[in-house]
Structure 1
């Protein structure tokens, strides 16, 4: 096969993985080769690809106790992706692999475990908003982004960008991707939709949405204020904020979390993490008695993966386990099926 043809195939195959996934897998591949180089004697290049099951399990055993289980799992699958990309044989027994990955997770050092992600609540968001100056461009953008992410049960990364220079109109949500319907469906209810051009789970795009809410966390009021203060152009990042020179700057995740945690600290709230927004959204909707499948649809989960939130946060389950369940009329439709 000609080199140029092979390169075209490799370029095409590389699109099978999301950019962030490729970065993680690349790190895993580096660690794998570093391990092979440092072993005594070093593992010959010819034995690294295709790698034998023995070498792959040896690699996991050598790294166990140093990395978290999830990190090692990603590194391992990075090596597998490298085999797939280059058409190399992958011959690993699934049963042994599952056991090995379970083992490395249990051997992970305590320092590798992330602190519990506390959920955002409407009270927390209200207190954060009270400690932001919503007449200032950055604060207006941050609060609008926070309320939209929360009420649409979205990932924070779907409404922010990793860095200012990484904004890509074909991949990141813009002002022109917002559509407002003040009377949707037969019930004529208001809903605002956000087309996300690209997400990790939907490379061709998907739609997030919310409806107006009562009180200070209302995403409609926050979005309106943001547009009044920053007025991003149709092609600008949705939550872009206007700098002193008039240039609209895309809102980065780092800027967002810095302002949120500064406001939270001023309100006497401990450090928060971005994923806690989505967890808190699930908490809020479930406590309203919203059916399980509806919450899954709001958050655009394609599986029951978010039931992990139910197991981790007793607050969600509390209404269902009382002597006289508070949400008893909703239990049959709101709770997931048992397995």
Structure 2
């Protein structure tokens, strides 16, 4: 009757599990500390620029930043048929913003939202399809806004100054090589091809269902358009606060162009790459280098560093309360 020993072995395997959740709650705070120490010079300089800015415009930038989480919540709800709890959804977007700045671009927010939808009872296949639909809608809206504004203001950016001379050809070759490698792998690996085909069928089915309900479609595309517009409005407000001699429309175009380019760089929350791209874009829009740098640092303080600690605390609380 040796099989009776099985229940005695179970306690040895499972006592560690209760300790995992508290560790996960503290992990975001530890990551915030590490990121803050690594970028302490940027923080000091950014807060210095904020002290000399006009505070009404800074308040407008903070308000626009807060509204981006509302827009993200609308878009997330619009991407899935099942109704999600509104307050927890909004809190999750705030926490996802912190996670997105601690992990490579898109992975943090995607993981948090995928877990949230799964806990809310959305099957994993539909949650993944909703996540892909959200990313597609947000990308299409961002690029559509950029193209529309460039058509309306054709001289807004000096495109030649955005890339070093001779850098365009290697960049295009690199993107082409990555796409060719991905397509070759997809064609050669049958199991991967089957998985991708199954996912695409689920995603297309979810997209059809969402667009058959006007309220969901409106939330999806309205939130997708509002999100980058609010981000650009925040940068424009900071530019006004620091007297950047660039028109608001041109600053919005610079923001959209820089963030579209930075999406190809997998850094945590775009930290480092976003600052560089924004400075280059604002200079290409006609701003002086010194003022453009000050605007970008102050803007990133408001949109990244100020919400990072409370966002990490919210993330830890949501993990502890098993919301995600």
Normalising to structure 1: TM-score of the pair?
A: 0.22
Q: Which has the larger radius of gyration?
A: 1
Whose RCO is larger (CA < 8 A, sep 6+)?
Answer: 2
Normalising to structure 2: TM-score of the pair?
A: 0.23
